[in-house]
Each structure stands twice: as structure tokens, then as C-alpha cells.
Chains A and B, each alone.
Chain A
Amino acid sequence: MNLARSQFEDLFLFEEQMPIDSVDAALRFKSECPPDRQFKSENMFRFRRGRGDFHASVFAAFIALVFLAFFSTETGWQDRKLPDNLGNYVGYQFGLVEIEGRAKRLGSILKQSWVVPFLCLLILIPASIINLRASWKIRRWRQRFLLPTDAGYETSKYLAALEYLAYFILYTLSVPVLGYLISTIVMGVFLTWRLGYRTVKWLSTGLLSSFAIVVVFRSFLQIKTPVSIWLYDQLPAAARAFMLTYF
């Protein structure tokens, strides 16, 4: 089925343009002429700006502007030590101007804390502006050809990802309370269930995989876990020591 669908999709120039949902119906319109599948090594670097690219480019430009806005207060720019006549000094660096007396060493300027962030912004700001311009042009082009430009679908994916991030943070919070072993097993089984693998076979696979992770990383490799765990503190001293050492 997937193969048939991909063959059908090859007939269209744009991936969004497939008008028929039913693959069977679509295959009735399949051309006898096979699409050009000549592979070119340039294809390896092919990049296409999709939906959501413009919004991301705007956000990237916004972040770059935030860094620029805080440049004067967050980089030590206010305490800068620059020569009095900066224009002459720049000219002197390139051998265009002679300076009377002793010129300030360039090294003493380069050492100042604002210099490296300034270099970063020299890359970040132009790149974000050029990227925004390119993205805006593609968006206009898509609008002209009536291709979808809204980022609703992408936003729904981002929100779905946030749900899993919330589980990740909950997992982090549960470790000092329940311990690494129980938290990992609970999270492993829960995620397996949440993702739709709800048969006994998959739930036990999730449980065993989580247990294996704990054994490899905590029991064998002895990675660091909190010294004080609420649940382990309720156990008798010997059991507590054992659990703290191995799980």
C-alpha cells in the first residue's frame, strides 16, 4: 500500500498537491509514463522550506534581536575600553593612518568580555535577516500558487511534543521520591501504553526494557542518582543501602 502511494505521489510536483485521499481512486489516474527517477548527487543537499519555516524564521530573527537588545547590558559593553578616536584606530590597524604616540594594543581590546558576543551577533543578525527574507519570498511564492502556508499542522505537532516533555520533567521529579528503578519502570510502561502499545506483550517489553536500562546504567555503570530517596528511606537499613547502591 505504501509503495503504491509513494509511486502516486511521484506524479505531483508538490507534496501538498495530492487531491485524492483514496489510493485506489488515485491509482486509476496513474500515468503510463514513469516519472523521472534519475538520481543526481546534488539531491543529497536538497533542501525545501516547508510550512512553518516562515514562522520559525520570524522567531529566530526575534531571538537574534533579543540578544542584540541585551548586548549593552549583558556582555560588559558598558565597561568597554576603546581608543578615543575609533575611526583613526581602525585605519591604523590596516596601515591607512598613523597615530601619534603609543597606540592601544589590539589584544587588550580583544580580551574584553563583549568582543566574542559581538562576533556572534555579527554572524547571527545578518544570517537571521537574510534567512527571514528568503523564507518570506518562499512564502509569497507559495501563496501565489495557492499552496498552504498556515502552520496549524506544525503547531499541533509542537504541542504533542510538549506533552512528552511534560512526562520527561515529571519523570525527573519522581526520581528523588520513588527512586530510579521504580520511576523508570513506571515511566517506561506508561509511555508504552500512552503510545498505543497496549497488549500484554508490548507492556511487558516496555517493563523489561526499562528494567534493563536501570541494570546497565545504575547497577553496572554506577551512574550518579540522588543520595536521599523518600521511598528508600522507608525501608530497613540493609535494604535501603542495597537499593541505594544498585538501583
Chain B
Amino acid sequence: MEALISGLDQLLQPAVMVAIVIGSVGGLIIGAVPGIGPAIAIAILLPATVFLEDLVSLVLLLGVYGSSMYGGAIPAILINTPGTPVNALTTYDGYAMTRRGEASRALAIAYSSSFLGACFSISVALLSLFAFGPYLRDLGALFGQRDIMMAAILGGVLLIAAHKQNMVIAALLFGFGFLISVVGRQTTRKVDRYTFDIEYLYSGFNLIVVIVGIFALSQAMNLMTGKDDDAPPARISGGVFRGFREIARFKIVTLLSAIYGTLMGIIPGVGEFVAQFFSYSTARSLSKEPSRFGHGSPEGLIASETSNNAVPAAAMIPLLALGVPGEALTAMMMVVFFDAGIKPGPDIFENNPDFLFSLFIALLIINVLVVTTLFFSTRLIARMIYIPNRFLGAMIMLLSFVGVYSIRNSLADCIFAAAFGFIGFILRRLDWPLVPVVLGLVLGSIITQRLTAGAGQIKTAADMINRPVSGTLFVVILAVTCYIIWHAVKKTNRFEQ
């Protein structure tokens, strides 16, 4: 209880409250503009957060993370263009409802189901903190270096498995990201790894430079070399307040989707798409009208929006509990933790429990604020959809410069960011996923650190897996690896037939 009160006390500082408001409203607008998305916004904001207080920075980024998917539903429903990638599924039922003249109903359902999904996962996190708080403090003893290393490996393996149709490409890009993470001078042994005698590379690649390049600069180029979308006019008639009543008709779908979202958020490397896949499939199998899915089914919309909004709060759990980010956005947040001197991992329950409470309560406040804002200003936010893509690309390029140059005013940083931006641009053109590169980089450095730190306790190979946690994780890694290989072989055979 003391931690809860202390957490609330931290949140009530004026600067933190302002950050909550700016993050939430900014995230809404960013989500509503097709072409930006939370990853790009967080990548650009990361360097600026260095100049802010720790909690202010985190709450600002959490605001963008937690609210962008709400905003992303607006263009998905109104003009059939997802605001953020995870809103792609929303277009199938949301836009079909708009074409039937039910735009306000679709928006109402999307807002209320998103809100319930988010509240569910935040409640799970807060209740777990209350119920298991005293036991969670003992987690530190359960999770040693080898256990966290295994968790990071599991995150990588699950990430590859989650890219169902392009696992090989995901593995290739994860390997590339992992390799980038080892570039630099190994301080303990004074060995240069893949530096090719380039002085800049001695300190390794800066995470922010890579992230801004891969996500923001690549998208800027993508937009500037593309065409402006000729978006159809978005017409909203009627109010958007009746969504909660509608949700009450589909309680089971809402609950199951929230559970899927929370579970998939907790598992590192999985994230929103798999959560949506499971919840949408389940909703269709339970529905009395499965044929309406994809043609404007409210249940389909609920499944999509509830599950994707349940992920952000749940995705914070592996990040905070193990120090292992599950997806790109939480990986970026790790940078803020490092800057703040807070080491995410089992020890956080012992050292900073109030910090945990304040983060989850902030997420709750963000969601309340976002839904309230949306109920009153959807029409205003919907206007953002019409900012031309290429103009947006130019502005993202200017903002990317802020992100990279402000780190240390280095031309070399900008050149490397440009190079990573070009790589990211090619990957976007090829429809190859970007997230494995960044997670390869982040998880790779965790694996390297933990392997080096834990090596002293490893006498034989059995010592890697002879602890309860590492042993269990190893079994799961083996199972998922077998699934990946089986899937690859099956796909090859099907193609050859």
C-alpha cells in the first residue's frame, strides 16, 4: 500500500500530469495520421526525453504508446486506411460498417472495446502487483544471469515464430540485428569486433541512431517517394456515446479478446498481431453470424480493438519483470530506463515498487483521458487524416534529424542513421519486417551481457539449464524451434508440390 501511495504521489507532480496529457493527445493525433505510428513518434521523441525527468519521459512515451491505437482506429474505420499497422484488421469490419452508414457506431464500438481491453490488462497488472507484490520481491533470487539470458533467447525465438509467413526473413533480420549489437570494442578483453578499424564503431552502434534510421527516416523516404493518398471524405453522423451499451451484448468476445491481448502481450516477441489473430478466430468460431466477419461485424471489430489495446500494459510486464522487451516499442523504452539509471528486471520489485505502480496508474489515467477526448473531439481529430503523405514525410525527416543530431551533434551519427534509414526503406519496399532488426539489437545485447556475466558459473553445458527457470525456458525454446523448423519444412514441401 505504501508503494501505491508513493506511486500516486509521484504521478501528481505537475510536470508528470502535463506529460500524460501531451503524450495522450499527441499519441491520438499521431495514431490518426496514417504514415506516422507510435514507433516513429517514440523513435523521434527518445533523444528529447534525455532532457526530461525520468518519470516524465516514461509517461510521455507511455502516453504515445497507449493512445496511438485508439487514434489509428479512426482512419481505419472512416477511410479504410489503418492509422497504425495494428489497426489493419479494424479496416475489414470497421470500414464495412462505415459503408453501411454506421461510422459513428463503429467508432463507438472501437473506442469502448479498446478502453475495456486496456483496462483489463492494466487491472491484471495492478492486481498482480497487489496480490503477488511480496512474492515478486523474491523473484530476484529465482532469476539469475542464465535465466534472463534464456528469456531473451526465448523472446527472439518467439519473435521469429510469430512471423508466420516469413519466418526465414524474420530470422535473417534478427541475426542481422544481433550482429549489429556485437559491433564495437569488447572492454573486458580489448578485442574489436567487426569495427574494421573505423573509429566511430569502437563504441558500437548507438541504439537511438539505429532506431531513428530504421523506423523514422525509412518511413520519411517511403512517404516522400510515394504518392499522396486520395482519401475519401470521412462522414460521421450521430453520437459516439453508445458504444459501451453495444459492448455489453458481446461480453464473452470482449472478455476473451482482452485475455488473449493480455497473454500475448506478456509473452515476449509475440505482440498485437498474434493476439488479434487468436481473438478474431475465436470470435468468429463463437459467433452466430460468422459469415458477417470481414463484412462489418461488430464482434470482429470488438475482437480486433480489444485485443490490440490490451497489449501495451501487458507488454510492460516482461520488460519490467525480466528486463526483456517483447516488441519494438518496449525495446525503445528500455533506453529511457537506462538513462534514468533504473535497471528493469527482477530487482525492480525490491528497489522501485512505487515506480511500477505509478507507471500502471499512469496508463490507466491515459486511457480514461483518451476515451474522454475521443468522445468529444473525434471530428476534429479525423481532419488529421487529410495531411498529405509526402508533406508528412518531409516533416518526419526534419524530426528525425532532431532525434539523431541532438544525441551528440555528430555528423557520423547522421550518416549512419541515413544508412540504416536506407536499409529500412528497402525493407519496407520489400515488405520485410523491421521489428526483428531492432529486437535483434536489443535482445542481442542482453544475451551478450548476461552470457558474459554468467559465464563464471558455467562449468558444463548442463549448468546452462540446471536452474528451474532456465530449464523450463530451455524446454519452451526447444519446442518453439521445432515448430519453426516443422513450419519451414511444411512450407517448402507445399511449394514444391
Partners in one complex: yes
Q: How far is the CA of A131 from the CA of B460 in the complex (A)?
A: 34
A50/B431 in contact, CB under 8 A: yes
Task: Report the Cα distance A105→B188, complex, angstroms.
Answer: 18
Task: Write out the residue numbers on chain A whose beta carbons fall within 8 Å of the beta carbon of B402.
Answer: 213, 217, 223
State in angstroms the CA–CA spacing of A63 and B462 once bound together: 34
Q: Is residue A79 contacting chain B, with contact meaning CB distance below 8 A?
A: yes
CB distance from A246 to the nearest CB of B (A): 14
Give A74 Cβ to nearest chain B Cβ, in Å: 5
Q: Contacts A41-B280, A137-B495, A161-B422 known; A48 to B431 CB distance under 8 Å?
A: yes
State in angstroms the CA–CA spacing of A75 and B406 once bound together.
31
A203 to chain B, nearest CB (A): 11
Taken residue by residue from 22 to 47, chain A's Cβ proximity to chain B (1 for < 8 Å, 0 otherwise) reads as 00000000000000011111101111
Any A CB within 8 A of the CB of B249? no
**Contact assessment for A172 and B405 in the assembled complex, using a CB-CB cutoff below 8 Å:** yes
Quick one: given A123-B171, A130-B168, A213-B399, are A39 and B179 in contact (CB under 8 Å)? no
B384 interface residue (CB < 8 Å to A): no
Q: Which of the candidate stretches B29-37, B202-210, B390-398 sits at the interface with the other chain? A: B390-398
- In contact, B191 and A79 (Cβ under 8 angstroms): yes
Of residues 94 through 142 on chain A, the ones whose CB sits less than 8 Å from some CB of chain B are 94-95, 103, 105-108, 110-113, 115-117, 119-121, 123-124, 127-128, 130-131, 134, 137
Q: Which residue of B lies closest to A63 (CB)?
A: B176
A45 contacts B390, CB within 8 Å? no
Q: Which residue of B lies closest to A115 (CB)?
A: B451
Q: Is A196 an interface residue (CB 8 A)?
A: yes
B414 to A168, Cβ gap below 8 A?
yes
Using known A-B contacts A53-B430, A161-B422, determine if residue A116 contacts B451 with beta carbons closer than 8 Å. yes
**A179 on the interface (CB 8 Å rule)?**
no
**Which residues from chain A contact B432 at a C-beta distance below 8 Å?**
56
Question: Is A123 a contact partner of B178 (Cβ separation < 8 A)?
Answer: yes
- Does A67 lie within 8 Å of B225, measured CB to CB? no
Are B458's CB and A106's CB within 8 A?
yes
Residue A175, interface by CB 8 Å: yes
Given the complex, which residues of A lie within 8 Å of B232, measured CB to CB?
Answer: 2-3
The distance in angstroms between the C-alpha atoms of A119 and B178, with both chains bound, is 9
* CB-nearest residue of chain B to A159: B225
Instruction: Give the distance in Å from the alpha carbon of A217 to the alpha carbon of B398 in the complex.
Output: 11
The answer to whether A226 and B458 touch (CB under 8 A), given A117-B179, A213-B398, is no
Chain B neighbourhood of A128, CB < 8 A: 172, 175
Q: Bound state CA distance, A79 and B276, in angstroms?
A: 49
The verdict on B360 contacting chain A, using a C-beta distance below 8 Å, is no
Whether B406 lies near A225 (C-beta < 8 A) is: yes
Known contacts A165-B418, A165-B422; A117/B463 CB under 8 A: no
Is the beta-carbon distance between B176 and A124 smaller than 8 angstroms?
Answer: yes
If A41-B280, A45-B273, A222-B51 touch, does A131 touch B172 (CB 8 Å cutoff)? yes
Nearest CB of chain B from residue A119's CB, rounded to whole Å: 8
Contact A157:B225 (CB < 8 A) given known A110-B458, A131-B169: yes
B452 to chain A minimum Cβ distance, whole angstroms, is 6
With a cutoff of 8 Å between Cβ atoms, the chain A residues found around residue B422 in the complex are: 158, 161-162, 165
CB neighbours of A95 from chain B (8 A): 462
For B170, give the chain A residue with the smallest CB separation. Answer: A127
Q: How far is the CA of A156 from the CA of B492 in the complex (A)?
A: 32
Task: For A74, list chain B residues within 8 Å (CB).
Answer: 192-196
B398 and A175 contacting across the interface, CB-CB below 8 Å: no
Residue with the highest number of chain A CB atoms closer than 10 Å, among B92, B232, B276: B92
Judge whether B448 is part of the interface by a CB distance below 8 angstroms.
Answer: yes
**Which A residues lie within 8 Å of B163 (CB)?**
45
Complex Cα distance A217/B401, Å?
Answer: 11
Contact among B92, B281, B395 for A213, CB-based, below 8 A: B395
Among residues 150 to 164 in chain B, which have CB atoms less than 8 Å away from a CB atom of chain A? 163-164
Asked whether A86 is an interface residue with its Cβ less than 8 Å from the other chain, the reply is: no
Q: Which of A2, A52, A191, A202 contacts B429 (CB 8 A)?
A: A52
Q: Once the chains are docked, how many angstroms separate the CA of A13 from the CA of B63? A: 42
Contact with B460, one of A46, A48, A93, A120 (Cβ below 8 angstroms):
A93
Instruction: State whether the Cβ of A233 lies closer than 8 Å to any Cβ in chain B.
Output: no
B175 adjacent to A75 (CB under 8 Å): no
Complex CA gap A111/B232 in Å reads 59
A52 CB, nearest partner CB in chain B, Å: 6
The answer, yes or no, to whether A76 is at the interface (CB within 8 Å) is yes
CB neighbours of B313 from chain A (8 A)? none
| Cβ of A169 under 8 Å from chain B | yes
The 8 Å CB contact of B47, one of A112, A154, A223, is A223
Q: Is A8 an interface residue (CB 8 A)?
A: no
Q: Are B189 and A113 in contact (CB under 8 A)?
A: yes
Bound CA span A191–B280, Å: 42
A63 to B194, CA, bound (A): 13
Tell me the complex Cα distance, A119–B193, Å: 13
B186 at the interface (CB under 8 A from A): yes
Q: Which B residues touch A217, using CB under 8 A? A: 48, 402, 406
What separation, in Å, do the CA atoms of A29 and B398 have in the docked complex? 46
Identify the interface centre among B168, B195, B284, B411: most chain A CB within 10 Å of its CB.
B168
Q: Quick check: is A20 within 8 A (CB to CB) of the other chain? A: no
Interface centre among A39, A92, A175 (most CB of B within 10 A): A39
Q: Is the CB of B164 within 8 A of A45?
A: yes
Q: A38 — which chain B residues lie within 8 A by C-beta?
A: 294
Q: Taking the complex as formed, is B425 at the interface, i.e. its CB lies under 8 A from any CB of chain A?
A: yes
Q: Which residues of A have CB within 8 Å of B221?
A: 161, 164-165
Q: Tell whether, in the assembled complex, residue B92 and residue A111 are in contact, meaning their CB atoms are under 8 Å apart.
A: no
Say yes or no: is B13 at the interface (Cβ < 8 Å to chain A): no
Please determine whether B172 and A113 come into contact, CB atoms closer than 8 angstroms: no
Query: Which listed residue, A47, A161, A226, touches B409 by the CB 8 Å rule?
Result: A226
Q: Which of B427-448 contact A (CB under 8 A)?
A: 429-432, 444, 447-448
Instruction: Please state if B294 and A197 are interface contacts (CB–CB under 8 Å).
Output: no
- A195 on the B face (CB < 8 A): yes
Apart from A2-B230, A123-B178, A217-B48, 8 more pairs, CB < 8 Å:
A45-B164, A74-B195, A106-B461, A113-B186, A123-B174, A124-B176, A169-B415, A217-B406
* Pairs A–B under 8 Å by Cβ, sample size 11: A44-B276, A45-B273, A70-B196, A74-B194, A116-B193, A124-B179, A128-B175, A161-B221, A162-B422, A164-B224, A191-B394
